[in-house]
Structure 1
């Protein structure tokens, strides 16, 4: 596997850390900007909404105009460095909101092009592995990126965390300038094939379930830190290690579901959602007990985000997996990610307490389970 593929994975690791690291610095940002914890959680939502907006639009533009991979990716990464770097110096919450939306849009373009570039660099038989290395950057950002950003915030402040992300992206950019060969753009988009998928009700049902699953997961994850500190009474020095357990659970769960998703996507979703519901319920009711809180975090990590391979398998089974189909599905996932975080923040800001975010996640998980139970009752092998 070429070294440049791993550098692309490191760049995506940086972008994934930027999206989620806010969850580890809730109290710091709340004090710095004189806002509520719920409003801090909204910063995750704004980044996710940027990804949602940028994914389909930039994918269409790249394919429509056959944008050269190398040049376009380097420009997008360069812009990301500038905007993310600027975020380390702002003092106004509204400016930071605008920056989060812009960086989300740029992240969507960087992810799309990094995947396309990684697969273009290797033989056909190695393309799935190359793509998995790039995607692994996002997964590993949960394990190491978010906890490290939390530790840096505790020692040197949130501005240092934001700035170091920009520096890491800049290092990746410099390496790619040197190592990434010139590459032509992708083939022109075939909208007729894509439109067929968009007319399929089964596709939108699959998107709705994906949205609810990610919404349930991130309504909880976005507020783990204040819940663990203020309700479970953990000290802030312990929290990064609990977040690391969550990230490791994500990876283990993804490894399990990745092997089973193609043949057993329905079973994975049903079992995974039942585990997610029980975990969220247990954490909402008993998070004051530290051992239960840690177990709940681990099982939410095992069952929530790791259902992604099953979600993708469902999409493939009901629609032609073209670039726009995948981009729209990714956008819908980010609606769930941002929407769950936003709803959790609204509940907290409205005075319902920190546990209210967990109850929001529980409601979304129940709705997701209800959306797949009809298929289980009918005993269908397919999703149509």
Structure 2
């Protein structure tokens, strides 16, 4: 016979799963246009460069929205806020599907960015309010498992739908899925009252916290370094490793699968060895990327390093979010908002820096830059070795 306590625990894990589905949808929505640039550009008579703003715009807006949305909404119940943001995601993707011209499409993508930044800022630290403290790392891993799942299934499937049907159908499907998530959130999320409003002063106060400062710096270096190199992984695999272009898609699928595995490995290790886990991730990423110009010049070497890269990077979101939670246990929402802002901003900066270097230097140059940034992140993490909250 199921007891009331068992039912409550089961309902909380269902709520965690619903939030994970939400993060899956957010990342899919953010990155889906990557595979649709050509058809969108052709349909709206714009260049692929202009179409690329469908990715850049929501990333930048999400970086701004992450700290601002919690500030602007004050003490509104977080359950209601998450539902409202998913409602915005539903409407924004519907507007994207129906947009008759480029300005309206970009406007819709800006609204997607607001939903991404606001939802992620709240959802990132939600595990501590849904499950008991010892289970928070596992719940956080499930929530961020949605990120890895989006890279493995969301973007490729959305691109496939866009290719078989149309890019408008792909965005429309996202709108339908967002509505499904909205209904799920209404059904399973418990009330999540805000203890106190997030203010600009409380956000600024987080920079006095050594753990938060190092977590923000490590996030900036890791994510910037990763995306500086990963944005150009296709030419790296083809030109450096000699891999046939037709194999790039399946290999990136393998990268995503390895990332999902890495996410849950990190979720299992951060509970006991948080500092060591983050340090190993930063160092292993740096070494893997730096090895590419040396050991990745063969097909076998390039494939092996790509899988290792995916496995290690898969643990980044879970481990760094846990770092922020441990660093600021009394200000989780504020620390999470800053972290999400830096994470999204670093995606854009990494791609921009990578493009600048690739245009000016040989392809290996971007790998050297990324490797150095990742090792610097490891050095920053190492300086927090005496912080008792992060052990």
1:336 matches 2:342 = no
Unmatched tracts of structure 2, length 5 or more: 1-9
How far is 1:51 from its partner?
1.9
1:324 matches 2:317 = no
The equivalent residue for 1:246 is 255
The equivalent residue for 1:363 is 369
1:44 matches 2:52 = no
Structure 1, 365-374 or 124-133: larger mean CA deviation: 124-133
Question: Do the aligned residues in 1 keep the contact of 2:61 with 2:114 (CA within 8 Å)?
Answer: yes
Residue 290 and residue 166 in structure 1: after superposition, are their counterparts in 2 closer, same or farther (change >3 A)?
farther
Find the aligned partners of 2:124 and 2:229 in 1 and give their Cα distance. 29
Unmatched tracts of structure 1, length 5 or more: none
Question: Do the aligned residues in 2 keep the contact of 1:250 with 1:306 (CA within 8 Å)?
Answer: yes
Residue 117 and residue 304 in structure 1: after superposition, are their counterparts in 2 closer, same or farther (change >3 A)?
closer
The equivalent residue for 2:72 is 61
Match of 1:35 among 39, 47, 51: 47
Question: Do the aligned residues in 2 keep the contact of 1:273 with 1:365 (CA within 8 Å)?
Answer: no
Find the aligned partners of 1:239 and 1:367 in 2 and give their Cα distance. 25
Find the aligned partners of 1:25 and 1:309 in 2 and give their Cα distance. 29
Find the aligned partners of 2:293 and 2:167 in 1 and give their Cα distance. 28
The equivalent residue for 2:177 is 168
Find the aligned partners of 1:29 and 1:223 in 2 and give their Cα distance. 22
Give the match's secondary structure for 2:194. coil
Match of 1:82 among 91, 96, 108: 91
How far is 1:49 from its partner?
1.8
Query: 1:307-342 deviations in whole A, cap 9, x for unaligned?
Result: 334434544565445111221122112221221123
How far is 1:239 from its partner?
4.2
Find the aligned partners of 1:126 and 1:379 in 2 and give their Cα distance. 24
Give the match's secondary structure for 1:185. coil
The equivalent residue for 1:22 is 33
Structure 1, 286-295 or 241-250: larger mean CA deviation: 286-295
Give the match's secondary structure for 1:88. helix
TM-score normalized by the length of structure 2: 0.77
The equivalent residue for 1:185 is 193
Match of 2:206 among 189, 194, 197: 197
How far is 1:265 from its partner?
4.4
How far is 1:211 from its partner?
0.9
Structure 1, 328-337 or 86-95: larger mean CA deviation: 86-95
TM-score normalized by the length of structure 1: 0.79
How far is 1:67 from its partner?
1.1
Find the aligned partners of 1:250 and 1:182 in 2 and give their Cα distance. 30
How far is 1:367 from its partner?
2.5
Give the match's secondary structure for 1:187. coil
Residue 131 and residue 270 in structure 1: after superposition, are their counterparts in 2 closer, same or farther (change >3 A)?
closer
The equivalent residue for 1:153 is 162
Find the aligned partners of 1:21 and 1:139 in 2 and give their Cα distance. 14
Find the aligned partners of 1:253 and 1:9 in 2 and give their Cα distance. 16
Question: Do the aligned residues in 1 keep the contact of 2:262 with 2:312 (CA within 8 Å)?
Answer: yes
How far is 1:144 from its partner?
1.4
How far is 1:366 from its partner?
0.9
1:219 matches 2:224 = no
